[in-house]
Structure 1
Amino acid sequence: MTATARRMFELLEPICLVTFFAPECGDELAALGHPNYWSGYFASRAAPLGRVPAEVVHAAFYNFAEGEAARHIPRAWETIPPEASLAARERGSAASVRRIIGDEMAASPGLRRAADLTAKAAASAPSEGRLMYAAMRTLAVPDEPVARLWHCATVLREHRGDGHIAALVGARIGGTEAHVLSAIAMGVHPPESFGRVHHLPRRRLAEVMAGLRERGVVDADGRFTDEGRVLQQGIEDLTDELAAAPYDALSPAELDELVAALDPVSARLVAAGSR
């Protein structure tokens, strides 16, 4: 099932990415009063957890630098209820998907079927040890097909993310280290220039790179060693393995049907860069 998990990630991820790349979600959150992108991001993504302290959000999200969550949580909820941010995220994200794929595809039987099968998978996996997935499972599933597809794709994204964190923890790779490994895998050089970490203090980045070199993960030039490639691939393989459980709820015929239904939707989103 690991191949299935990887294929479903490839198909569902472009649906989820509209939340971060397309303008509608940001516009909806700004209209509520969030002063910037990150306020809306932290408030809406963390809202399913309830009004937890920033330390809990930092732990659940894992790969943000120390103090980043605390700049927005709980202040982002003081004047804007978490439920309002959640609703704005759903409205904006669904609107983005509809705009990009077009009215005809949005109203098609194929999309409705994709939403139904994605919902079946999203509701089926064990939640133990899956903090963000369990939190998302407490939310109502939208009735409207495009919103339902986006919501359930996001539930599955958080399920995969929880498993990815477990794989990183098991490999003793922290959040910043994870970004560095991703940067190297994507061919970003030097990895410290990667957009998710380049703003961090130089001393912190130097400590991270030194630690990875001491472990034999990266070489003096900031590229993977053979051991580093094995480590990175092992994390990805385990992430796929841990992401497979939701799809056990679907029969082989349903999986084939889901892939066929999602393929044109995902292709259109990929072509647009989910924007």
Structure 2
Amino acid sequence: MDPSPTLARRFWEAIEPVHAVAYFTREPAEAARAIGLTGWWMGYFAGRVAPLGPVGGAAAAALFFAFSPVKPARALPEAWERADPGKVLDSRLAAVRAALDRVLPPTGPDSLRRLVHLLERATEGCAHEGRALAAAWSRVPRPADLAGRLWLATTILREHRGDGHVIAVVHGGLTGLEASLTHVATGNVSRELIQRSRGWTDAEWDEARRRLVARGLLDRDSRLTRTGGALRREIENATDRLAADPVATLGETGVEEAIRLAAPISRHLVDTNVIPVPNPIGAPRP
């Protein structure tokens, strides 16, 4: 990783654990089951794509290409036979608000209101060309409460960055699976954690490893070569560049203020084990 993280990356690190509450707390999963979505992964995929409407597994696989396409295909479009996207979205928003009410640290209302204001301003600066998830979430009406607004703003910003990361990976000549192998090769996360959560078989994983070895990106011990490390840094730096819209909107002073206000919240979520580190989404302790 870049030893001097860019402002865009530090901004993401400060807010990602807030968004990740949707994945690591019990309320969203319980709410999904309550409206008829069976299995954790059906709730996950339906909940993330709900603002796009009743998309199918193939479209979801294109958006979430770090996952084996088998996983979204198992969840979609069956989820929409159980609950329409509007119901899924409303359920998810209510569940996340309940989770945040439980897990957020005590924060002065003025500080929280200021953070929400900064993050919402940042979302307004995001361009959405080629960024379907960010565009869809940006059209979700803002909740009335501060916790709900906080989560929605962090979600728009992280999907904006995530869509940009997909663009950077594709431009770098990697598949989603291959990018996952290079992530594991950094040593920041285990193969077991990534492979299990993303749904790839041993055969698929090993074939991708052979391709990366043949290209000189991994060595035979699955470590990044110099060329592989350079490509990984290039992709991360491109992701940062593609995430520059909100940073440019707030300016350095505004982003630093947002980081100052958000980082203690995210550190609390990690330190109280609400958000485990390491995790498949790469969210660090700010």
Q: Which runs of 4+ in 1 moved over 4 A?
A: none
> Aligned match of 2:81 in 63, 78, 83?
78
- What's the RMSD between the two structures over aligned residues? 1.8
Query: Counterpart of 1:18?
Result: 21
Query: Counterpart of 1:3?
Result: 6
Query: Counterpart of 2:154?
Result: 153
The amino acid of 1:270's aligned partner reads V
Alpha carbons of structure 1 residues 98 and 196: separation in structure 2 relative to 1, 3 Å: farther
Does structure 2 retain, via aligned residues, the 8 Å contact 1:160–1:242? yes
How many Å apart are 1:28 and its aligned residue?
Answer: 1.3
CA offsets per residue over residues 28-57 of structure 1, 9 Å max, x none?
111112111001011111111111222111
CA offsets per residue over residues 112-156 of structure 1, 9 Å max, x none?
110111011012211111111111112111121111011110100
How many Å apart are 1:188 and its aligned residue?
Answer: 5.0
Query: Counterpart of 1:125?
Result: 126
Gaps of 5+ in 2: 276-286
Does structure 1 retain, via aligned residues, the 8 Å contact 2:19–2:151? yes
TM-score (normalizing by structure 1)? 0.92
Gaps of 5+ in 1: none
The amino acid of 2:178's aligned partner reads E
Alpha carbons of structure 1 residues 79 and 197: separation in structure 2 relative to 1, 3 Å: closer
| In the alignment, structure 1 residue 242 sits paired with structure 2 residue 242 | yes
Aligned positions of 1:89-104 closer than 5 A = 89-102=92-105, 104=106
Aligned positions of 1:102-251 closer than 5 A = 102=105, 104-105=106-107, 108-188=109-189, 191=191, 193-197=192-196, 200-251=200-251
The amino acid of 1:7's aligned partner reads R
Single out whichever of 171-180 and 245-254 deviates more from structure 2.
245-254
Does structure 1 retain, via aligned residues, the 8 Å contact 2:57–2:72? yes
Query: Secondary structure of the equivalent of 2:6?
Result: helix
| In the alignment, structure 1 residue 51 sits paired with structure 2 residue 50 | no
- For 1:172 and 1:182, how far apart are their aligned partners in 2? 15
- For 1:229 and 1:197, how far apart are their aligned partners in 2? 24
How many Å apart are 1:197 and its aligned residue?
Answer: 4.8
Does structure 1 retain, via aligned residues, the 8 Å contact 2:100–2:147? yes
- For 2:210 and 2:180, how far apart are their aligned partners in 1? 15
How many Å apart are 1:200 and its aligned residue?
Answer: 2.8
Does structure 2 retain, via aligned residues, the 8 Å contact 1:44–1:86? yes
How many Å apart are 1:274 and its aligned residue?
Answer: 3.0
Single out whichever of 86-95 and 220-229 deviates more from structure 2.
86-95
Identity of paired residues, percent? 33
- For 2:223 and 2:46, how far apart are their aligned partners in 1? 36
- For 2:231 and 2:251, how far apart are their aligned partners in 1? 33
Single out whichever of 52-61 and 31-40 deviates more from structure 2.
52-61
- For 1:200 and 1:18, how far apart are their aligned partners in 2? 25
